Amino acid sequence: MPVPQAHAGRPRRLILSVLVLLLLPGAAVVWLGVQLLSQDRELEARQRDERRESTADVLAAALEQSVATSERRLRAGDMTWAAAYRDTVALTLRASGVDAYPRGRLLFQPRLPAGDAGHEDPGAFANGEALEYRDRNLSAAAAAFRAAAVSFDPHVRAGALLREARVLRKMGRPDAALTAYREMAQVRAARVLGLPADAVARRTRCALLHDLGRHRECDSEARGFLADLLGGTWALDRGTFEAYLAQAERWVGSPAAVPPWQTALGAAAEWLAAHPDRDAGRQVLTGAGVPVALLWQRVDGGTRAFLGGPDFQRLEWFEPMARRAAARGFRVALSAADDVVVFGDALTGSAIARRRSFETGLPWTMLVGDDGTAQDGSFASRRRLLLAALALLMAIVASGAYFITRSMGRELAVARLQTDFVSAVSHEFRTPLTSLQQFTALLNDAEEPPAAKRKQFYEAQARGVERLRRLVESLLDFGRMEAGARPYRREPLDARSLAGRVTREFEREAAALGFTIVLREGAADAVVTGDEEALSRALWNLLDNAVKYSGESRRIEVSCERDGSCVILAVRDEGLGIPKDEQTKIFDKFVRGEASRTRGIKGTGIGLAMVRHIVSAHGGSVRVRSEPGCGSTFSIGLPAWTEDAPVSSAG
């Protein structure tokens, strides 16, 4: 026993030494590689910061150039470019009012034309109002207002029609009042009470239709009124617009889809009108959650301004800048004075270059950050090379460790199997030798046993000697098989006869242990070409194995059948069974199943290995079919004999 342990200890120490020799320099190189990678990343980060700051300056200059181009157009008085985008408008603010281009972009105006209410001549309506209020003569008042409605002055005509419709409503003549409002709506150049006459007429007509319960007509009139209201048809202040819009929404029964950018443009125009003291400037306002850029300059008699919504800013100013940033491997974001992001995604973290509005003169704060994909090519290639070298080194160390560990495992497994084999063989020899020693002592006793007893003792000694002979021959045969020196004399054999003879011989020994061997013979033409002694030993080993692993069962079946061109010899027991993961290993030399260790089943571990050697030498195969607790069936498949089968004594 000590020899295998010492043999196993030497490779273990050698393996540990080699592992140490591999791991120490490998760990040193890995540490150096990690340090190099860290320094490389720090250098790249510094260069990246410098490029980010430089890119921020370049982008700020590019954006400044784009905004300055728009300011030059504004200074030149060229308003046509404002119509290229849907969310832009050019304004000229004067004391007399606001001129917007293109028309219809502003839903409401910050400043109404001065003196509009004065266009009406109060004396033109004095007679009719006296008849209406003083004399209570509504018919005469209506006639007086009708007479004034033919005036060439559109303001007088619109005022007269408005008053006539009022009198007609008092007289209970709503249809006539509706007609008067329709005529008034045709007077588009006039203003009444400071508001566009046609807007007042159409709103009042919708209100009258609603009060009369004529909802279908009211809905049709209100939808047209709402469309013109949202189209910026009239110059209204914000309060009047919102009041008219609320009424129109109530009449049509649903909220209007007011584009947020139009509301934002109107709010920006109001802000501009509220700061007339500023000669020129740039500003970003976020009315209604929509960013609007304002550019304005003082001109003779007023202020000229440009209002650009998000679409204009993005397409005209921001996207060219963003493309330039992307080409450098960065992304850019812009925020207004209230930190509302107006372009790009919000950038956070420390790796950001920031340019505030007081630094650039632009109305935005610019943030420039990494896009997460760009990487310096030289740094990347150097890191890839270093990582590849480290990976190769680690692969060498890992593969070396794997093969050394595998070799150690094999060495230890062989040492353990050899130890088990020596122990098993020793036990196999000890059992019959002990029996021979006991019976010899009994025969040498001073008192000679009776003849019947002596015969039993001699028979027992003969069985012990036979067992020893088989064991020694098995060991010698296995050694020759391993060396490829075992000769086989092949000749035609009746497999049924061979199975019957081996079964009967084995049954004489197994009967003493209470086993019953059942032989099932199949077809009569079960003839094979083989070495009778070798095949008998193979079948004997299978029977011996079945006895050892039968557990509580005492029944074993042997069968011989013809299956096409093969003859099948099978041994089936009803014992312990074999786990799936052991069924391929048990045919290796010295390997025994787990059940042999847990249940103390004796054996040498070469029986099934011999079976495989013998069957393979005869051109056949051996298979096992088993499940734990359900027994096992070992089958030897041999080619059936034919007339032209060779007969040989070669090994």
- CATH number reported for the structural domain that contains residue 528 in this entry: 3.30.565.10
In three-state form (DSSP H/G/I as H, E/B as E, the rest C), the secondary structure along 547-614 is: HHCCCCCCEEEEEEEEECCEEEEEEEECCCCCCHHHCCCCCCCCCCCHHHHHCCCCCCCCHHHHHHHH
pLDDT per position as a tens digit, 364-399: 999 998 876 655 555 567 667 767 776 776 777 677
Contacts of residue 227, defined as CB under 8 A and 6 or more positions apart, other chains included, come to none
Q: Which two tokens stand for residue 15?
A: 């393996």
Q: Which two tokens stand for residue 398?
A: 């890992």
Do 133 and 204 lie in one domain? The reply is: yes
Q: How big is the CA angle at 340 (ends 334 and 341), to the nearest 5 degrees? A: 35
422 in a structural domain: no
Q: Any idea what DSSP says for residue 83?
A: G
Do 169 and 190 lie in one domain? The reply is: yes
105 in a structural domain: no
DSSP 275-342: -TT--EEEEEE-GGG--EEEEEEEETTEEEEEEE-HHHIIIIIIHHHHHHHHHTTEEEEEE-TT--EE
3-state secondary structure of 353: strand
pLDDT at 112 over 70: no
pLDDT at residue 316, rounded to an integer: 92
| Inter-residue contact 152 to 175 (CB < 8 Å) | no
Supply the pTM of this predicted model: 0.54
Q: How many domains does the chain have?
A: 4
Top mean pLDDT of 99-113, 163-177, 611-625 is at: 163-177
Domain of 24, in residue numbers: 2-49+379-415
pLDDT per position as a tens digit, 56-75: 999 999 999 999 999 998 88
626 in a structural domain: yes
pLDDT per position as a tens digit, 641-650: 877 655 554 4
Question: Which of 228, 257, 286 is where one domain is finished?
Answer: 257
Do 31 and 120 lie in one domain? The reply is: no
78 in a structural domain: yes
pLDDT at residue 289, rounded to an integer: 81
Q: Which two tokens stand for residue 7?
A: 């043999």
Q: How far is CA 411 from CA 407, 422, 478, in A?
A: 6, 16, 21
Question: Which of 340, 370, 400 is where one domain is finished?
Answer: 370
pLDDT at 277 over 60: yes
Judging by DSSP bridges, how do beta strands 555-563 and 516-521 pair with one another?
parallel
Residue 313: which pLDDT band, with cuts at 50, 70 and 90?
very high
Q: In whole angstroms, give the CA distance from residue 541 to residue 361.
A: 100
Do 80 and 145 lie in one domain? The reply is: no
Question: Which of 336, 370, 404 is where one domain is finished?
Answer: 370
Do 310 and 237 lie in one domain? The reply is: no
Mean pLDDT of the chain: 81
Q: How far is CA 536 from CA 8, 187, 496, in A?
A: 37, 127, 12
Q: How far apart are the first and last CA of the chain?
A: 35
Query: Where would I find the H helices in 76-211?
Result: 126-129, 138-148, 154-170, 174-185, 197-211
Do 342 and 387 lie in one domain? The reply is: no
Judging by DSSP bridges, how do beta strands 621-626 and 566-573 pair with one another?
unpaired
Do 129 and 71 lie in one domain? The reply is: no
Contacts of residue 2, defined as CB under 8 A and 6 or more positions apart, other chains included, come to none
pLDDT at residue 244, rounded to an integer: 95
pLDDT per position as a tens digit, 508-545: 878 878 888 888 877 677 888 888 888 888 888 888 88
Residue with token string 């603010």: 93
Do 388 and 362 lie in one domain? The reply is: no
pLDDT per position as a tens digit, 7-57: 445 556 666 666 676 667 767 767 777 777 777 677 777 888 888 899 999
Q: In whole angstroms, give the CA distance from residue 505 to residue 470.
A: 13
3-state secondary structure of 362: coil
Q: Which two tokens stand for residue 355?
A: 């340019």
Q: In whole angstroms, give the CA distance from residue 269 to residue 112.
A: 12
Cis peptide, bond prior to residue 432, ω within 30 of zero? no
pLDDT at residue 284, rounded to an integer: 93
pLDDT per position as a tens digit, 214-260: 999 999 999 999 999 999 899 898 999 999 999 999 999 999 988 88
Helices 532-548 + 451-483 axis angle, to 10: 110
Q: In whole angstroms, give the CA distance from residue 145 to residue 1.
A: 136
Q: Strand pairing partners for 491? A: 530
Do 194 and 233 lie in one domain? The reply is: yes
Q: What is the CATH number of the domain that holds 215?
A: 1.25.40.10
Do 166 and 269 lie in one domain? The reply is: no
Residue 456: which pLDDT band, with cuts at 50, 70 and 90?
low
Helices 197-211 + 154-170 axis angle, to 10: 10
Closest CA to 404 of 96, 9, 12: 12
163 in a structural domain: yes
252 in a structural domain: yes
Do 141 and 229 lie in one domain? The reply is: yes
475 in a structural domain: no
pLDDT at residue 68, rounded to an integer: 93
Q: For the ranges 65-74, 168-177, 330-339, 370-379, which has the lowest average pLDDT?
A: 370-379
Do 492 and 529 lie in one domain? The reply is: yes
pLDDT at residue 307, rounded to an integer: 92
Closest CA to 98 of 263, 226, 266, 242: 266
446 in a structural domain: no
pLDDT at residue 635, rounded to an integer: 92
